[in-house]
């Protein structure tokens, strides 16, 4: 008989439990914990400031009351005030200083004004199509953080620069498989929401991993624009692709072969199935699609031939 031992749940430190009990002694409502002046905010302030003091001790080599042992005679020189914005609103901190100005804190670096993750919220709201004014109102309502339009613009502009660098990065010389497709999404453009086509290129590299090679936005999908896409891929270093997997857009294969004449152009499975179902009554489409999947998901060519024969007979 096999005996299965259950892992024992780790018990919290008794001292931490005592501390938590003492901190929560006056707890009555959720605002006491997570409000503007709640316990979590106060605890965060205390922990960060203690960490900063520890970093200063490590930097100088002695604590506040300790003997100066560093060779330069550097010592503490009071504190400066810094305010960080985050999920809990604005958090004022006392940051220790040294006389020689050589202290470089790590937990809150110089010139940092927001907690890590706060920029992500701005980008997330921006990506959902919210205007600068709407983002500003949302952050103030949800987190009590007054964020200027300039800050929001700086954050989104910084990401835009990163996107440009990513879009122009050099690519591998060979991608055995290249998927080219277009999706339509709603985007905010000059204050209005419009539907635009996003051209997507996904390559399978020599290690077998998928890699997004680029994204391009246009009003409509067309073979002429796809020609520009594959030309850009060539200019960014892609010398050869073996198989280009595309939809049934007219002129698409010609656009690819103009840049990669040796590539095999193959209609993607999803579009092949959709085209096949055009010849099937609506009530039978679900069953036919399931039978087709048995063919293209077969592990070997022989198994696929067998499933194809079964499909034909059925």
Q: What is the CATH number of the domain that holds 188?
A: 3.30.420.10
List pLDDT tens digits, range 40-49. Answer: 777 778 878 8
Residue 71 lies in a domain: no
Instruction: Classify each residue of 3-32 as buried b or exposed e, where b means 16 or more C-beta atoms within 10 Å of its C-beta.
Output: eeeeeeeeeeeeeeeeeeeeeeeeeeeeee
Last residue of a domain, one of 111, 146, 168: 168
- Provide the pLDDT for residue 290: 92
| CB 199 within 8 Å of CB 182 | yes
d(CA 212, CA 205): 10
Last residue of a domain, one of 168, 201, 236: 168
d(CA 133, CA 299): 54
Same domain, 80 and 94: yes
Task: Give the chain's domain count.
Answer: 3
List pLDDT tens digits, range 41-93. Answer: 777 788 788 888 888 888 888 888 888 888 888 999 999 998 887 666 678 88
Over range 189-214, report the average pLDDT: 87
d(CA 81, CA 99): 16
Q: Which residue from 267, 309, 268, 279 is spatially nearest to 291, judged by alpha carbons?
A: 309
Q: Provide the token pair at 78.
A: 């009071």
Q: Which residue from 213, 209, 208 is spatially nearest to 234, judged by alpha carbons?
A: 213
Q: Which residue from 225, 227, 230 is spatially nearest to 214, judged by alpha carbons?
A: 230
Same domain, 161 and 190: no
Give the mean pLDDT of the chain. Answer: 81
- Concatenating the DSSP letter of every residue in 189-204 gives ETTEEEEEEEEEEEEE
Residue 111 lies in a domain: yes
Of the pLDDT bands very low, low, confident and very high (cuts 50, 70, 90), residue 36 is low
Same domain, 176 and 156: no
Q: Which residue from 216, 233, 234 is spatially nearest to 225, judged by alpha carbons?
A: 216
Of the pLDDT bands very low, low, confident and very high (cuts 50, 70, 90), residue 258 is very high
**The model's pTM:** 0.54
Same domain, 143 and 187: no
Same domain, 93 and 158: yes
Residue 304 lies in a domain: yes
Residue 9 lies in a domain: no
Structural domain boundaries, residue 281: 268-314
Same domain, 192 and 249: yes
Same domain, 121 and 187: no
CA 274-279-283 angle, to 5 degrees, is: 85
Of the pLDDT bands very low, low, confident and very high (cuts 50, 70, 90), residue 136 is confident
Same domain, 275 and 258: no
Of the pLDDT bands very low, low, confident and very high (cuts 50, 70, 90), residue 243 is very high
- Provide the pLDDT for residue 117: 65
Residue 20 lies in a domain: no
| CB 283 within 8 Å of CB 256 | no
């Amino acid at each position: 008989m096999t005996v299965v031992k259950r892992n024992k749940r780790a018990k919290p430190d008794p001292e931490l439990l005592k501390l938590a009990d003492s901190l929560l002694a006056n707890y009555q409502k959720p605002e006491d914990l997570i409000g503007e002046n709640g316990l979590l905010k106060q605890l965060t302030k205390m922990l960060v400031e203690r960490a900063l003091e520890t970093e200063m001790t490590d930097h100088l080599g002695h604590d506040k009351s300790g003997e100066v042992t560093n060779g330069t005679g550097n010592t503490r020189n009071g504190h400066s005030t810094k305010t960080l914005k985050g999920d809990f609103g604005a958090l004022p901190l006392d940051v220790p200083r040294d006389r020689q100005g050589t202290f470089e804190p790590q937990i809150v670096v110089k010139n940092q004004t927001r907690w890590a993750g706060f920029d992500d919220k701005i980008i997330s709201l921006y990506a959902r199509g919210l205007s600068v004014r709407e983002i500003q109102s949302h952050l103030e309502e949800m987190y009590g953080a007054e964020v200027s339009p300039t800050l929001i613009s700086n954050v989104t502009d910084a990401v835009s620069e990163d996107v440009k660098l990513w879009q122009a990065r050099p690519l591998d010389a060979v991608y055995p498989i290249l998927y080219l497709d277009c999706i339509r999404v709603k985007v905010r453009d000059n204050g209005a929401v419009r539907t635009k086509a996003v051209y997507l290129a996904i390559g399978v590299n020599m290690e077998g991993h998928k890699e997004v090679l680029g994204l391009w936005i246009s009003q409509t999908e067309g073979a002429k624009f796809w020609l520009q896409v594959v030309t850009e891929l060539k200019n960014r270093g892609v010398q050869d692709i073996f198989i280009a997997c595309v939809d049934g857009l007219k002129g698409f294969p010609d656009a690819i072969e103009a840049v990669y004449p040796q590539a095999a152009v193959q209609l993607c499975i999803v579009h092949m199935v959709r085209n096949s179902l055009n010849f099937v009554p609506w009530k039978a489409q679900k069953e036919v699609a399931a039978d087709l999947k048995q063919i293209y998901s077969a592990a070997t060519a022989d198994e696929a031939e067998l499933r194809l024969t079964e499909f034909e007979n059925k």
